[in-house]
Amino acid sequence: MKFLIVLFVSIVFSMTGKELSILMDNRESPKDVSSELNMEITNKKGRVRKSKIKSISKDNNAKQILWFLSPADDKGISYLKIEHDNQDDEIRLWLPGFKKFRRISSNKKADSFMGSDLSYEDMTSRQMKDYSFKIIDSNADIDGKSCYILESIPNGIDSEYSRHITWVDDNTYLAIKEESFNQNGNLLKLKKIKYKLIDSFHLVSEIFVENIQKKSNTKLTFSNLNINTGIKNKMFQEKNMKRLPRK
Amino acid sequence: MKLKIVLFSILLLNNLNAEFSYSGKIYLPYNFNLKTYKNTELPIRFVDLNLNYSFLNIDFKSNIALEYDWSTEPNEKINLREYYFSYYPSFGEITIGKQIISWGFADGNNPTDNINPYDFNYMFASGVDRKIGVHSISSTMYYHNSKINLVMSYDDFKHHFNSQIPFECFIYGSNDDGNCLNAPEFSKHIEYGIDFQYNMNQAEIAISYLNSHDRFHNENIQTIGANLLYMHDEFTFRFENAFYIANNNEKFLQGIIQVEYPELFRFNATTQLFGTYDFNAKKIYGIGPPLFILSEYMIIFSTSRMFLDDVIELNNFILYNLGKGHGYSIGGEVNYTLNDYIQSSINISKFFKGSGTSSFNNLENHSNLKISLTYFF
């Protein structure tokens, strides 16, 4: 009888992958975030290339501008991304050496972002309608935190990945680790994400991405995080890419 | 006088507690001719310094270069390539001063980008390095998905000819003694233009008009431009066309089609097909990008890829002259990043002469190998 009750409870309260992804998607996020990023790209020989980036974003990262502050040969380059629901995302680069804005295809998702282990696809939010979700383990554990393991498979979209396996904290519904597999089904990237609690919001404080095939990795560390500072929509315009933000 | 303007601006903005930033590079090349194995003696831009001040909605920007030219006396020259103020109102941007302004959709070879003359000593350089700043007032206005650029300039707008390649002979002809005829006198005058751009989901269109002077003959020439950017899956197509009407009603068209391919084996590949169609033009006009004067039709296929964990960048191109005289050129560049500040490069450009005479075939003697070290700051 006891066994039947446990089975009944687990059937009634077990969550589907879709429901978990909705909970992840519905997590409250700040209206806007500004931060400074330190990007460290380490190649397989251990050589490190560091970049410093200023970032502002809005609407859960659907609008974002990144300004490169260093290294010196990248200084002044900026990146604008605007995600759209019903049309292709808009990605532009400001190239000061050419004095030109360059619109690039948002379909070139697999291209590396500024030589890092992050691709443009990694920098873009996943649309729920484009994936099918399945929980493959409800009782996983990572670093003492109990987690769900969620499988996400792209459906009918161009993607560099065939599937993602994500460890999701079952308390906060935050993704804390992810394995992404290439189109051949081989593990391509391992991502680990750390968060910082600011005003009841969990904000990403560190992203570590390891490219298993290339044996290189990229660590993004976020500092000077400011939220809800009233960044306006019009900030995400081409003209603001030309001007490094004032301190 | 120009230096005084820059110094006064810096002093003023310093007193206003404006935010100062700088960037630039020190460039140490050795460029030798592959035929003679001697220095090509092309001018060198040793130092490129950008000084910027930001105060409220205003920026002061300048670009100062230290150049060395074997053909001038003295050889060293401080070149104030740009010095201008940018004001950022809510609708966009207004700039005033000596500046370089870029129009057009294609990469590098833009028929509609004629606001600034070119320095042919740097004709194979990339980006704004090839251009000469002119005194201009320019504004950019944004409205929803549209962008309008207005520009009015006052300068002499004269191309600087290459000190080693005798373009003057090709353009102006030569006298009985075989000496090249000189360019006409260039006086300062006003030029103006407008560029309207509209952004769509997978495409952008632009139309433009520029009333200018031809940079070789100093005669009025009007440019009507039409550009299209179209993205389909991982392909990007950039079309750029300029229809020119010269003072004596001579007409010609310059166009370029650029195709960017999906990344293949980590190679980025691009093809540019470009050329000039003459309706009734009787001479070579100095308008449009420098490569357009070398031939009626050309095709360039270029690739780039990072190797050895992004430490080495390899760029290659094959350029084929489809027009008179044929001929082709191959080139390669290897950039080795020593650290965050220093990059070493080896760059080779080899020209192969085709049949007959053409300005492209004249380049055969100018194949060169360049070794350089760049320090970025």
- Is A195 a member of any domain? yes
More confident: A168 or B356: A168
- Is A61 a member of any domain? yes
Report how many helices (DSSP H) and strands (DSSP E) chain B contains, helices first. Answer: 2, 18
Nearest to A99 among B102, B340, B376 (CB): B102
Provide, as residue numbers in chain A, all residues whose Cβ is less than 8 Å from the Cβ of B235: 105
Q: With 80 as the cut, is the pLDDT of residue B6 above it?
A: no
Q: Which of A142-156, B131-145, B356-370 has the lowest mean pLDDT?
A: B356-370
Provide, as residue numbers in chain A, all residues whose Cβ is less than 8 Å from the Cβ of B128: 97-99
Q: Is B291 near chain A, with CB under 8 Å?
A: no
Residues paired with B371 in a beta bridge: B30, B346
Return the residue matching tokens 């009782």: A139
Q: Which of B329, B291, B335, B333 is nearest to B316 (CA)?
A: B333
A125-162 pLDDT, tens digit per residue, is 888 888 999 999 998 988 888 999 999 999 988 888 99
Most A CBs within 10 A among B310, B339, B374, hence the mutation to make, goes to B310
A21-47 pLDDT, tens digit per residue, is 999 988 888 999 999 999 999 988 888
More confident: B164 or B313: B313
Q: Is B76 near chain A, with CB under 8 Å?
A: no
pLDDT for A162 equals 95
With residue B301 as reference, give the H or E element that holds it. Answer: strand B297-307
B residues 134-163 closer than 8 Å to A (CB): 140, 142, 147
Mean pLDDT, residues B129-140: 96
Provide, as residue numbers in chain A, all residues whose Cβ is less than 8 Å from the Cβ of B21: 244
Give the percent of chain B with pLDDT over 90. Answer: 66
CATH number for A160:
2.50.20.10
A174-218 pLDDT, tens digit per residue, is 999 999 999 999 999 999 999 999 998 999 999 999 999 989 999
More confident: B269 or A123: B269
Q: Is B263 near chain A, with CB under 8 Å?
A: yes
- Is A5 a member of any domain? no
Domain span at A55: 16-241
Q: Residue B103: what residue type?
A: W
Residue of B nearest to A109 (CA): B234
- pLDDT band at residue A5, thresholds of 50, 70 and 90? low
The CA-to-CA distance between both ends of chain B, in Å, stands at 28
B residues 230-249 closer than 8 Å to A (CB): 231, 233-236
8 Å CB contact of A238 and B340: no
Q: Is A239 near chain B, with CB under 8 Å?
A: yes
B60-93 pLDDT, tens digit per residue, is 999 999 999 988 889 999 999 999 999 999 999 9
Report the C-alpha dihedral over residues B48, B53, B59, B60, rounded to 10 degrees: -50
For residue B86, give the 3-state DSSP assignment.
Answer: strand
Cα separation, A194 vs A203, in Å, equals 8
Cα separation, B213 vs B189, in Å, equals 9
Cα separation, B255 vs B281, in Å, equals 16
Provide, as residue numbers in chain B, all residues whose Cβ is less than 8 Å from the Cβ of A110: 263
- pLDDT band at residue B352, thresholds of 50, 70 and 90? very high
pLDDT for B301 equals 96
Q: Is B23 near chain A, with CB under 8 Å?
A: yes
A165: CB partners within 8 A, 6+ apart: A136, A149, A150, A151, A178, A179, A180, A181
Q: Are B311 and A42 in contact (CB under 8 A)?
A: no
- Supply the DSSP string of A106-174, one letter for each residue: TT-TTSBSTTSS-BTTTTSPPPGGGEEEEEEEEEEEETTEEEEEEEEEE-SS--SEEEEEEEEETTT--
Nearest to B202 among A88, A99, A110 (CB): A88
Cα separation, B57 vs A55, in Å, equals 20
Buried b (16+ CB within 10 A) or exposed e, B300-320: bebbbbbeebbeebebbbebb
Q: Are B187 and B166 in contact (CB under 8 A)?
A: no
8 Å CB contact of B59 and A243: yes
Rounded to two decimals, the ipTM of the complex is 0.89
The token pair at B26 is 């020190």
pLDDT for B100 equals 97
B29-51 pLDDT, tens digit per residue, is 999 999 899 999 999 999 999 99
pLDDT for A12 equals 47
Q: What is the CA radius of gyration of chain A?
A: 19
For residue B84, give the 3-state DSSP assignment.
Answer: strand
Q: How many domains does chain A have?
A: 1
Quote the pTM value: 0.87
Provide, as residue numbers in chain B, all residues whose Cβ is less than 8 Å from the Cβ of A76: 23
Q: Residue B254: what residue type?
A: Q
Pairing of strands A100-104, A216-227: unpaired
Give the percent of chain A with pLDDT over 90. Answer: 56
Most B CBs within 10 A among A52, A91, A93, A108, hence the mutation to make, goes to A108
Q: What is the CA radius of gyration of chain B?
A: 21
- Helix, strand and coil content of chain A, in percent to the nearest 5, comes to 15, 50, 35
User: How distant is the Cα of A73 from the closest Cα of chain B, in angstroms?
Assistant: 6
8 Å CB contact of A247 and B90: no
The token pair at A213 is 């095939």
Cα separation, B194 vs B138, in Å, equals 10
Mean pLDDT, residues B183-197: 94
For residue B12, give the 3-state DSSP assignment.
Answer: helix
Most B CBs within 10 A among A98, A183, A240, hence the mutation to make, goes to A98
Q: Are B109 and B291 in contact (CB under 8 A)?
A: yes
Return mean pLDDT, chain B.
Answer: 91
